[in-house]
Structure 1
Amino acid sequence: MSNSVEAIANQEAQRAQNLSGSRPKTKAVLNQAVADLSKAYSIVHQVHWYMRGRGFLHLHPKMDEYMDALNANLDEISERLITLGGDPYSTLAEFDQNSNLTEEKGTWDKSMEDHLRRLVEVYTYLDKLYQVGLDVTDEEGDAPSNDIFTAAQADVEKTLWMLQAELGQAPGLD
């Protein structure tokens, strides 16, 4: 076997080993994202139901778009975790126990601005979580998971920009 073919074979053997039992930090951050995306979806859905006031006609359907994007990210991240041999959280109790996002009871007394500020908080948290995912997947050499976090972070940053613009704020990522 030539050196290059042998090197490829060794890399593939290492890759197979990595998929079956390592990358503990990557699996942990993927599962954290599962819990947090599930909770974020619930928060956006609550905003969708409880919003009233100026901007309702264009923001109400926008929440559907945000929920669709969160659900797509959740599915991709969960399936990646399964690919790596992980066990994604899959119950409401697990999401609640493991998410770093908090929920509040829905009320009609919040202004549209209050709702949007809450979404900025949620998406800012997701942006930071995805950065942790990027750092961890770099450290553990998991390019496919890194790609997932890169795409998710770009989507979240665009959403943050739009929400901040709606609030009359300049975009400001830390």
Structure 2
Amino acid sequence: MSREKTKELLNQSVADLSKASALVHQVHWYMRGPGFMKLHPKMDELMDQLNGALDELSERLITIGGSPVSTLKEFDELSKIELEPADWNKSIAERIEEVVTAYKYLADLFEQGIEASDEEGDAVTSDIFTSAKGGLEKTIWMLESEIGRAPGL
């Protein structure tokens, strides 16, 4: 079984998780204002979660015969997550919104991964994508609540 679509989506996830981690790190460094003391360490937690998912998905890709992208150049070329140089002109809410946008994109990507791995008969990869998507959705809810937005995916 070749699982080509699954491998492609796993590699897309590797690039996007790497870029999402860089985005969260940027938010961690460039936030100022009310909520800083609570949100600054929260960004550390989010980076740890992203890096855990990155490791799990990368290792799954290797397990099924793929080769994960592994350079900053590859991450930047393949990823669909936008990351621009930061400045001090954004509010914490605007920075959190950037993270929410990235997480919603990742949740949609992981849904594609679930569908592809199901179609290609790879229940293990489907389970990994499903678990990762659930974690993202919970974080989206929490971050949107922080910035005063009602939940709703």
TM-score range, shorter chain: over 0.9
Structure 1 partner of 2:33 = 53
Structure 1 partner of 2:143 = 163
Structure 2 partner of 1:36 = 16
C-alpha RMSD over aligned residues? 0.5
C-alpha deviation, 1:44, in angstroms: 0.2
Q: Secondary structure at the match of 2:33?
A: coil
When normalised by structure 1's length, the TM-score is: 0.87
Segments of 5+ residues of structure 1 without an aligned counterpart are 1-17
Segments of 5+ residues of structure 2 without an aligned counterpart are none
Structure 2 partner of 1:119 = 99
Which whole-Å deviations, capped at 9, do the CAs of 1:105-126 have from their partners, x for residues lacking one? Answer: 1111110111011111011101
Runs of at least 4 residues off by over 3 Å = none
Instruction: Report how many aligned residue pairs link the two structures.
Output: 153
Match of 1:93 among 73, 98, 101: 73
Match of 2:46 among 60, 66, 69: 66
Task: Give the percent of matched residue pairs that are identical in Structure 1 and Structure 2.
Answer: 59
Q: Secondary structure at the match of 2:58?
A: helix
When normalised by structure 2's length, the TM-score is: 0.99
| Aligned pairs (5 A) from 1:72-91 | 72-91=52-71
Structure 2 partner of 1:149 = 129
C-alpha deviation, 1:172, in angstroms: 1.2
Question: Which entry has the higher C-alpha Rg, 1 or 2?
Answer: 1
Q: Secondary structure at the match of 1:90?
A: coil
